[in-house]
Amino acid sequence: MDKDERRSLGDRFVDEILDTVETPIALLDGDGSILRFNHACETLTDYNENDVVGKKVWDFLIIDDEIEAVRQVFSKTQTENVPTHFTNYWKTKGGKHRLIQWSNKTVRMPKSSTVGVLATGVDITHLKSVEHSLKESQEYWRSTINASPISIITINDSGLILTFSKAAEETFGYSEKELVGQNINVLMPEPHHTRHDDYIRHYLETGEKRIIGKARRVKAKRRDGSTFPAMLHVSEFSDGIRIFVGFIEDLSEKEEIEQRLDETNFQLRHADRVGSMGEIATSIAHELNQPLTAAASLIGAVSIRLKKGECPECSQSIPLLNDAVSEIRRASEIIQQMREFVRKQKTAKSLYDINKVVEDAGALAIIGADADGIEVKWEMTPEAGEVELDRIQIQQVVTNLIRNAIDAMQGAPNRVLKISTARDNEYITVSISDTGPGLENAVKNKLFEPFVSSKENGMGVGLSISKSIIDAHQGEIIATNQKSGGCVFTFKLPAGANDRLVNHE
């Protein structure tokens, strides 16, 4: 085999290799004319090699915006200073654009002193599309979390911050740039600052979810070291690596509003209790006048005897003095009940015997009822048991309902007030009924709304306050008309634990 035959065989071998590989490979001379166009190039562009050999690449393959840049590449071939990597679009025969990433190598052309370019390409059109979609998705995700008024923070399973939303920047006083890569515990006061790494380690080792998927009230720490109440929700997902997403809501303003609302409600309830005392002031004055008048008469009788010098009879005055003391004590108890009821003091829930609570409130509320010709019936069920409650607030409800019942029976021929307690499974019920005219439908449907009253001069806040108190005790209050006439108000409260002590404070 002579030299020319070997060269011919070598050329055919190279041709076979070029057409076998699936990578686009093109050989171009220094002027940009195509010398070789392998099968992968044909598949990519739908052009046949025979149709393109001898044509300049920018005459039909390069898009208009990139022709000048490609020309510049080939202007450097003779100095062998061609960029080793270059990315540009090729136009297919059908007009589609394919993005190709080229690896270029200058080669000296056979039987010539000129230099050409051997270009090996990779079609990255799909990859670029995926990259673009991913970038758009990331931008959409970031714009979404940055639009959220709630702080959103992502961390990895080492507790290191990955992203930090705009709301988080405003809430904590840090920029995202400052915190990315930092441990999330920088946003926590003690003891969680020190323990947080252990929390993550425990979860990774055991899988026990103590906070993931749950809402928890926590304390968070700002850049200036101040702390604030927050609601924390944590979720988890895996995208090659385990990522935790924290949603943090600053509760500072919400708690401040709740505190002001609680204070307003407290003032309103106090005003309602004071108002209740004002309504029964005349009856109370009469009730106090009786024991005080009796005490004054008894003490006066003893004084007369002493002035007469009737010392032998002094021993007979002792029972009179004892009776006077009893009457004064009875007046004192009434005054003490009034002071206890209207005292401006916040109280906490504790466990109380519901019968004792109702009886104490009722004793004060029914003062003067007998003078109005009202028969009071007490039906206290011994098994009613105990309830965890705010005693002053529940007594306020009872007093309000009793006074309403008494007012409702003004002018009624038969006046009976019934106060009862009962046990209904897990609930304890208290009922106050009257024999008045009952509730009109127009009033009944919105009875517990503020400023709705069945009284001619009523403010309409008593029942609204009563409902808010019962609601706060996880209870329920309703009003119904009785078939026999009159109305009955019933409220129920969750029963307390049977094995807890009853508080008779």
Q: What is the pLDDT along the chain (505 residues), one digit of tens a residue?
A: 444 444 444 455 456 666 677 889 998 887 888 988 999 999 999 999 999 999 999 999 999 999 998 888 777 765 666 667 888 999 999 999 999 998 888 887 666 666 788 889 999 888 888 877 777 777 777 777 777 888 999 999 899 999 999 999 999 999 999 999 999 999 999 999 999 988 888 888 888 888 888 888 999 999 999 999 999 999 988 767 888 999 999 998 888 877 776 775 666 566 565 555 555 555 555 556 566 666 666 666 666 666 565 555 565 555 656 666 666 666 666 566 555 555 555 556 889 999 999 998 888 778 778 878 899 999 999 888 899 998 878 888 898 899 889 988 988 889 999 999 999 888 999 999 999 998 887 777 777 775 445 554 444 456 877 888 898 889 999 999 998 889 999 999 998 754 333 333 3
Contacts with 450 (C-beta within 8 Å, 6 or more apart), sequence order: 460, 461, 464
Residue 405 in tokens: 């019942």
Best CATH choice for the domain 347-505 from the list 3.30.930.10, 3.30.565.10, 3.40.720.10, 3.40.50.720: 3.30.565.10
Q: What is the pLDDT of residue 481?
A: 93
The runs of H, that is alpha helices, within 98-165 are: 125-147
DSSP 8-state code for residue 291: H
The CA-based angle 266-267-268, given to 5 degrees, is 90
Residue 233 in tokens: 């929700």
pTM for this entry: 0.42
Of 42, 130, 21, which is closest to residue 90 (Cα–Cα)? Answer: 42
Q: What is the pLDDT of residue 5?
A: 45
The runs of H, that is alpha helices, within 409-461 are: 441-444
Q: Give, in order, the Cα–Cα distances in Å from 117 to each of 33, 113, 124, 180.
A: 10, 13, 21, 45
> Cα separation of 190 and 382, whole Å?
50
> Cα separation of 199 and 185, whole Å?
11
Residue 488 in tokens: 């009955």
* In the block, residue with structure tokens 């002579």: 2
Helix, strand, coil % over all residues of the chain, rounded to 5 = 45, 25, 30
Cβ atoms of 397 and 469 closer than 8 Å = yes
> Cα separation of 472 and 346, whole Å?
15
Half-sphere exposure of 34 (CA within 13 A, CB side): 22
Of 357, 359, 419, 363, which is closest to residue 388 (Cα–Cα)? Answer: 357
Cβ atoms of 489 and 431 closer than 8 Å = yes
Cβ atoms of 163 and 176 closer than 8 Å = yes
Q: What is the pLDDT of residue 15?
A: 62
The helix/strand/coil state of 215 is strand
Bridging pattern class, strands 215-221 and 161-164: unpaired
Residues in the chain: 505
> Cα separation of 59 and 491, whole Å?
91
Of 496, 489, 470, which is closest to residue 269 (Cα–Cα)? Answer: 470
The ranges assigned to domains in the chain are: 3-123, 140-250, 255-346, 347-505
Cβ atoms of 108 and 115 closer than 8 Å = yes
Judge if 140-250 and 347-505 fold alike in CATH terms.
Answer: no
Cβ atoms of 38 and 25 closer than 8 Å = yes
> Cα separation of 392 and 494, whole Å?
17
Residue 33 in tokens: 């004319």
Half-sphere exposure of 28 (CA within 13 A, CB side): 25
191 cis-preceded (ω within 30 degrees of 0): yes
139: β partners: none
The helix/strand/coil state of 229 is strand
Class of domain 140-250: alpha beta
> Cα separation of 100 and 44, whole Å?
10
Residue 219 in tokens: 């304390």
Q: What is the pLDDT of residue 502?
A: 37
Q: Indicate left, alpha or beta for 279 from its phi (over 0: left) and psi (-120 to 50: alpha).
A: alpha
Q: What is the pLDDT of residue 3?
A: 44
Of 332, 345, 331, 439, which is closest to residue 396 (Cα–Cα)? Answer: 345
Class of domain 3-123: alpha beta
DSSP 8-state code for residue 157: T
Q: What is the pLDDT of residue 498?
A: 46
